[in-house]
Chains A and B, each alone.
Chain A
Amino acid sequence: MAPTKQAPTRQAITLKGSTNLVTEFFKYAANTILFQRGVYPADDFHMVKKYGQTVLVTQDLSLENYLEKILKQVNKWFLTGSITQLVLAIIAKDSRVTLERWVFDINLVDPPSSDSSEPAPAKPESEIQAEIRNILKQIVSTVTFLPVIDEPTVFNILAYTSESADIPADEWVDTDPLAIEASKSQQVKLRSFSTDVHRIEAMVAYRYEG
């Protein structure tokens, strides 16, 4: 599905570029979510300029490294097209109840019909950045309806991959999806953004006590 290595160089470059873009997005999105939901203390975060606006990233080195490791692998999966979904689940520390699931669907943009002729014009980076900005803003504005989290929480990043994916055995393990109880789950679809190759859709599911 995804352009493989035999694909023309241009496509390969696009794939790589797009992958990096998306992986970077995940990094900032994850940081934003962790900050907004209070998984880590606010002091841990500092502002940086990215996507034409200020975003918050963590200063905590261990957290940063942790995310790096995960995202590196995610990046590799992107290149092989084996990853379909990335989930950041927020779980109560004590009771292990999943409070929120931030789900990012990964789809591949349909290749242009005429792949022999000139490739479709590349999507301008500014446009992609604008779309990412919107998603991040939406994440911030979810505070209006998400339940306040009183208790300490931890997060987990889950990757949904295909069977054939190459998984470093000692690093990734199968787990359960940490789903929220269906009767208590509310889902809100957020915006999406797409590059030339990938299309990412965001959604948040949260636990709502009637």
Chain B
Amino acid sequence: MATRTVDMASIEQQKENITPMPGGRLASKLAANFNCASKSVSQFKQQQQLQREQFESKLSEVEELDDPLEVYVDYIKWTHDNFPQGSNSESGLLALLERCTSCFRDVLYYKNDPRYLKVWLEYSNYSDSPREIFVYLAKKEIGNQLALYYEEFAQYLESAGKINDARQVYEIGIELNARPFLRLEKSYKKFEERMMLRNNAPDSNTSSSIRDVLSVKKGSNSDSIGNENDGLSSSRKRQKLQVFNDEEYEQKLPSFKEALLDTLGLKDLGTIKARIKENVLSPKPWKGEIIKQKTESSRPNSSKFEVYKDQPESQENYEIIEDSDNLAYTIIHQPGKNTEKVSLNMKLVYPSPEEEYCFEEILAMSRRFDKLHIKNENIIPNENFSYPVERNQTYTIPLKDDTFTIPLKDDLQDDENESVKFKTKENDKSPNSPTITMYSKMAANEVYSMFNDAANNLTTDDEFDAKSEQENTTNYDGFVTETIRFPLKDNQEEPQRSKEVSNKDIEFRRRECEKLTFHRASIKCIN
């Protein structure tokens, strides 16, 4: 087969978005449309916009073309293909139809062009009074030589129940020899057949109502119709009002036929919008519109459940403040929540949304800070222990004056020298105060053991303590950096440590040892 086969699946997915058209749709175009649309919405829309502009530019030159209707017809067809939903604001189908119909309505050349008539017929689908449109067309003599017009009109009338009118329409068409004549005749014959079958149901009611309508409608035209209105005024059965009694003068009423053919009294058809404007509320902007509920809506009285929130990314604003004691704390601003105060410098912990450092890392970095050249983000370890090294950041580790970090010597080759491998961070932590280096692990261990012994002596039966101390002892070997703190006053708190850290931290343990009594007491309580 010459044509390519389209897979239904691609159409089926969007099947509810397709307005069926009487002539059917090209399946291939539909599929192409949907495939393009699904791939990239914005691109697709851009493409459409481009094509639309092409049409518009063509339309602007419509005056110079030999067959301007062709441009319109192509444009309408393009709209059908690209907007299977039919008429909506995106497609602008209705507006386009309106443009086309009003553009050529007085052009003699197109009066009997079937394409033009089809545009009108499609337009009438969107009108709430197609009958008016048909009448307008008749008066304008648009399509009066085309069988299509009569067929459509009669079909409409038939479905509205106006049989006689429909019959008359056919008769007019046949009288005028509309083309294609044979088809019109056939349609008429079929119509008659249908009517015969329908003869059981008396349709006299409908016909009389039609007459009423017609008579009222044609009040203004009755003069021009001619001599058929002779006997109008004679029957006066009623005394009260001189009302013309229809039923006796059925035959004499100006027929629908004549009404159609009469071209006087032609009103101009406005746009659909203008016609229905009183029937339809116009859209308004949202702001300021109020709709109150009459009844208090049922509100569930359960409390608002707590939603798991995604980790905040850059939503939070950290504000680092240093207080009088050179202690830094962070104020966190989060929209919608109360501001929080965290007693540590969050910027060190989260220098950027993707990064997070634990306290040990921060310590390590701060110790090696002097060894790092920050300028080009290259790490160049130097043997210089001097401080300070230039730094970009203004954040500092708020260490107490009496604490300092002790950088390790370079000649210690074990993996404790991780600091060399540190990546450069944006914020370099430089210690405020000089640090002391422990030159030997053994010495350090000895010092620790002194403390531990002291601790051990104090505790007797506390297993928890013993265990932890045991652990501490063994862990000493594994430490990279150590910070020796001078004994603190009891009432001083550790601003950096707002959280508990692992018990592997020597410093922390040391502090614990120093404040042994206090801690033991608290541990006992915990236990």
Residue interface mask B504-523, A partner, CB < 8 A = 1: 00000000000000000000
B23 at interface, CB cutoff 8 A:
yes
Closest A residue by C-beta to B77: A210
User: Complex formed: what's the CA distance from A210 to B31 in Å?
Assistant: 17
Q: Identify B6's interface contact among A138, A143, A186, CB under 8 A.
A: A186
Q: Are B3 and A187 in contact (CB under 8 A)?
A: yes
Q: Are B22 and A189 in contact (CB under 8 A)?
A: no
Given A145-B30, A146-B24, residue A182 in contact with residue B1 (CB < 8 A): yes
Output the least CB separation between B159 and chain A (Å). 14
Q: Which of A26-34, A155-163, A200-208 makes up part of the contact surface?
A: A200-208
Given the complex, which residues of A lie within 8 Å of B18, measured CB to CB? 144-145
B11 at interface, CB cutoff 8 A:
yes
Residue interface mask B462-482, A partner, CB < 8 A = 1: 000000000000000000000
Q: Are B23 and A209 in contact (CB under 8 A)?
A: yes
Residue interface mask B116-147, A partner, CB < 8 A = 1: 00000000000000000000000000000000
Given the complex, which residues of B lie within 8 Å of A186, measured CB to CB? 3, 6, 26-28
A188 at interface, CB cutoff 8 A:
yes
B12 at interface, CB cutoff 8 A:
yes
- The DSSP consensus for interface residues of chain A is mixed
A147 at interface, CB cutoff 8 A:
yes
Output the least CB separation between B221 and chain A (Å). 34
Given A138-B12, A182-B2, A188-B27, residue A144 in contact with residue B7 (CB < 8 A): no
User: Complex formed: what's the CA distance from A146 to B21 in Å?
Assistant: 8
Interface size of A by CB at 8 A reads: 23
Q: Are B5 and A188 in contact (CB under 8 A)?
A: yes
B25 at interface, CB cutoff 8 A:
yes
Given A138-B12, A142-B8, A189-B8, residue A148 in contact with residue B3 (CB < 8 A): no
Q: Identify A148's interface contact among B4, B23, B30, CB under 8 A.
A: B23
Output the least CB separation between A143 and chain B (Å). 6
Output the least CB separation between B457 and chain A (Å). 78
Output the least CB separation between A107 and chain B (Å). 16
B15 at interface, CB cutoff 8 A:
yes
User: Complex formed: what's the CA distance from A143 to B28 in Å?
Assistant: 15
Contacts of A157-206 to chain B: CB distance below 8 A: 182-183, 185-191, 203, 205-206
Given A141-B15, A188-B11, residue A148 in contact with residue B24 (CB < 8 A): yes
User: Complex formed: what's the CA distance from A183 to B2 in Å?
Assistant: 8
Given the complex, which residues of A lie within 8 Å of B84, measured CB to CB? 144
Given the complex, which residues of B lie within 8 Å of A148, measured CB to CB? 20, 22-24
Given the complex, which residues of A lie within 8 Å of B8, measured CB to CB? 138, 142, 188-191
Residue interface mask B19-48, A partner, CB < 8 A = 1: 011111111101000000000000000000
Given the complex, which residues of A lie within 8 Å of B281, measured CB to CB? none
User: Complex formed: what's the CA distance from A87 to B90 in Å?
Assistant: 40
Given the complex, which residues of A lie within 8 Å of B11, measured CB to CB? 144-145, 188
Given the complex, which residues of A lie within 8 Å of B290, measured CB to CB? none
Given the complex, which residues of A lie within 8 Å of B4, measured CB to CB? 187
B525 at interface, CB cutoff 8 A:
no
Given A147-B24, A188-B7, residue A141 in contact with residue B1 (CB < 8 A): no
Output the least CB separation between A93 and chain B (Å). 12
User: CB within 8 Å of B: which residues of A?
Assistant: 138, 141-148, 182-183, 185-191, 203, 205-206, 208-209
Can you sample 18 A-B contacts with CB below 8 Å?
Answer: A143-B20, A144-B18, A145-B11, A145-B18, A145-B20, A147-B21, A147-B22, A147-B23, A148-B20, A182-B2, A186-B26, A186-B28, A187-B4, A188-B7, A189-B5, A189-B7, A208-B25, A209-B23
Rank and list the top 10 A-B pairs by shortest CB-CB distance, nearest first: A147-B24, A145-B25, A144-B18, A182-B2, A187-B5, A148-B22, A188-B27, A189-B5, A141-B15, A188-B6
